[in-house]
Amino acid sequence: MENLLWLIPALPFAGALLLVLFGSRLSRPLVAAIGVGSVGLSALLTLLLGLQFLSERPAFYHQQVWQWFEVAGFNPSVAFHLDALAMVFIFVITFVGSLIHLYATAYMADDADFSRFFACMNLFVGSMLVLVLADNLLLLYLGWEGVGLCSYLLIGFWYKNPANGYAARKAFLITRVGDTALAIGLFLLFQLFGTLHIQSIASEAMQVWDKGAPMAVLVAFLLLGGAVGKSGQLPLQTWLPDAMAGPTPVSALIHAATMVTAGVYLIARMHVIFALAPAAQLAVSVIGAATLLLAGFSALTQYDLKRVLAYSTISQIGYMFLALGVGAWSAGIFHFMIHAFFKALLFLCAGAIILALHHEQDMRKMGGLREKMPVVFWTFLIGAASLAAVPLVTAGFYSKDQILWLQLAGENGNIGLYLAGLLGALITSIYTFRMVFMTFFGTGKTHLEHPPGKVITVPLIILAILSVVGGFIELPHNFGHLTLFSDLLAPVLPAVAINESMAASEWLFQLLAAVVSLSGIFVAYLFYIAKPALLTSIERSGAAMALHRFWHAGWGFDKLYDTLLVRPYVYLANLNKRDVIDAFYSFLTDLAEALHIMLAQTQNGVLRNYIMGVVVGAVAILTLSLLL
């Protein structure tokens, strides 16, 4: 079965190729069958391979497809490495991805570029699968850039609107900043180890570098730069909210199964180097803590339903960074998986609402949808409850509680990171149920036109079930101590050391996390259902309005970058319209052209000119010989 590993990324690529070559000539049902079927078959193959992996429990499966090239001893292969970490990622990418593809057949049914959409989506899934299955960093980087290209194509899918094109360019350029750091890191690794094979680097790094070695710290920071750009973390987070310009299935795919999770994967995959660079690892947790708070406050002030979810993704990825930064590798990956379930669910629910309300995305123009769209309401409520980590009954509670607990009990945790995570949980709970109350409760403000069909609601129901039961595969010590997920990852990711003196008080911090989550829901209920006038009076104060505008604008990062980078660059570009550097090369080409025209006159086909040339030449030679 492991011999079929190559088919998992190959099937989406084959689907993309078919749609690019023949999509415009195929019927829509056939395009949908190719688009959904290729990713669905990949998911089925992943499930079968996963069952074999769980029964045999090998360290990893390895398959070399072909030798890519060989230059001066550098001989990377197109080869795939499947261990428990890659297994979790390909399960999420293919399974959640196939549900999003199925949903998209209804969401994009009336779009003129139906086949182009599915070609790009398949290419996106295939690139992400290459990224997580690559056995060497060069192949990983190929998938990394493929994901970046596909995000550009899909965010700007409706390219006739200039704003969408701007959002696509913004995402492409900002992530290039991180990609450049990653590329430099890969050059350094090759120079130091003579290979980009991931497992070889991991084993040699532990022998070559001591903990805190300057080169290990430098490489780790460069890798972190790549992760920060792709995962939308501080200070490169500004592209992600604008990426909502793409169709909603694209948003779901970017936020749940691909793209933004690439940074989390990179840090987890290269955890050996981060463990050897404590300063870089601390930076991971600090960036995560700062990002989750910043994005959470911004989510509180957004009115666009998709932008709330976008800031929520930035915040939740911050939790994953927080976990990875303290060495709680398994907890970070567990939250990644649970987040993929409930975030895909929330985005797909948002898409169903937006489609039903004539592409209206402003929550102030919604309301009263609870009874008109019961399936969407209940599934959205389940996803929201999981995002807000409602205690005991949601998967989000178990994944987030584990991260919070390890900020205190883990060997690298501290009280500051814990408090940041706890405050973030309160904010998450408030903005999540603000979204629920504004969208589904109160009086309806927009007429409902297109109630969702089964192709849309079936993926919602499946994801809602996973958003509940997914958490019960990893339970804390005092809740049955079930550790199926961390046991699976144990051969790949080291377990975090626990301060045993705190173990007895774990229940107290679980209770505190539960109280915080429920308090956030109560605050949202108070302001948006029970006493909305109270919120209005607060918003009228000058300071509150200024703070609201600041958070709504994403803490002014766009304005800051515009002032410091974009405007000076545009100013210099305008000064250099004629391009001073190119002027020299233009002179050389003009000179060469002039000489060509002059010499061409000596070959004009007129015999008398040739004879005259011979005579003049002979006279010149004779004259020179007499003079010299």
Q: Residue 488's closest CA among 60, 62, 22?
A: 60
d(CA 332, CA 335): 5
Question: What's the confidence (pLDDT) of residue 258?
Answer: 79
Q: Does the pLDDT of residue 187 top 80, yes or no?
A: yes
- Bridge partners, residue 525, by sequence: none
Q: Residue 185's closest CA among 141, 142, 146, 153?
A: 141
d(CA 230, CA 182): 10
Give the per-residue SS3 of 165-212: HHHHHHHHHHHHHHHHHHHHHHHHHHHHHCCCEHHHHHHHHHHHCCCC
Question: What's the confidence (pLDDT) of residue 603?
Answer: 81
1-5's contacts with Cβ under 8 Å and 24+ in sequence apart are: 1/48, 1/49, 1/52, 2/49, 2/52, 2/61, 2/63, 2/82, 3/63, 4/45, 4/49, 5/49, 5/61, 5/63, 5/80, 5/82, 5/133
What is the length of the chain?
A: 628
d(CA 510, CA 550): 33
Q: Residue 329's closest CA among 387, 271, 245, 247?
A: 271
Please calculate the CA angle 400-340-277 and round it to the nearest 5 degrees: 60
Query: How does residue 266 score in pLDDT terms, banded at 50, 70 and 90?
Result: very high
Q: Does the pLDDT of residue 505 top 90, yes or no?
A: no
Q: Residue 447 in 3-state DSSP? A: coil
Cα dihedral 43/48/50/54 (nearest 10): 160
Q: Does the pLDDT of residue 628 top 80, yes or no?
A: no
CB atoms within 10 A of CB 364: 10
**pLDDT tens per residue across span 44-93:** 999 999 999 999 999 999 999 999 998 888 889 999 999 999 999 999 99
Cis, peptide link before residue 491, omega less than 30° from 0: no
Q: Does the pLDDT of residue 559 top 90, yes or no?
A: yes
Q: Does the pLDDT of residue 333 top 80, yes or no?
A: yes
Structure pTM?
A: 0.91
| Helical H segments across 305-394, by residue range | 305-325, 329-356, 374-387
d(CA 459, CA 479): 30
Structure tokens at 578: 């004629």
Phi, psi at residue 345, to the nearest 5°? -60, -50
Lowest mean pLDDT among 27-36, 126-135, 345-354, 582-591: 582-591
Q: Residue 446 in 3-state DSSP? A: coil
Question: What's the confidence (pLDDT) of residue 592?
Answer: 95
Provide the mean pLDDT of the chain. Answer: 93
- For residue 568, CA distances in Å to 163, 174, 285, 560, 573 come to 22, 17, 33, 12, 8
- Bridge partners, residue 62, by sequence: 81
Q: How many CA atoms, within 13 angstroms, populate the side-chain half-sphere of residue 402?
A: 33
Structure tokens at 99: 């549900």
Are the C-beta atoms of 313 and 260 separated by less than 8 Å?
yes
User: Which helix (H) or strand (E) is 116 found in, with range?
Assistant: helix 114-133
Question: What's the confidence (pLDDT) of residue 537?
Answer: 87
Checking phi first, is residue 481 left (phi over 0); if not, alpha (psi -120 to 50) or beta? Answer: left
Query: How does residue 606 score in pLDDT terms, banded at 50, 70 and 90?
Result: confident
**pLDDT tens per residue across span 207-264:** 999 999 999 999 999 999 999 999 999 999 999 999 999 999 999 999 887 789 999 9
Checking phi first, is residue 161 left (phi over 0); if not, alpha (psi -120 to 50) or beta? Answer: beta
CB atoms within 10 A of CB 513: 22
Q: State percent of the chain over pLDDT 90.
A: 82
Q: What is the mean pLDDT of residues 596-616?
A: 85
For the stretch 317-347, what's the b/e string if a residue is b when 16 or more beta carbons lie within 10 angstroms of its beta carbon?
bbbbbbbbbbbbbbbbbbbbbbbbbbbbbbb
For the stretch 452-470, what's the b/e string if a residue is b when 16 or more beta carbons lie within 10 angstroms of its beta carbon?
beeebbebbebbbebbbeb
Please calculate the CA angle 538-539-543 and round it to the nearest 5 degrees: 90
Question: What's the confidence (pLDDT) of residue 449?
Answer: 78
Q: Does the pLDDT of residue 17 top 80, yes or no?
A: yes
CB atoms within 10 A of CB 591: 10
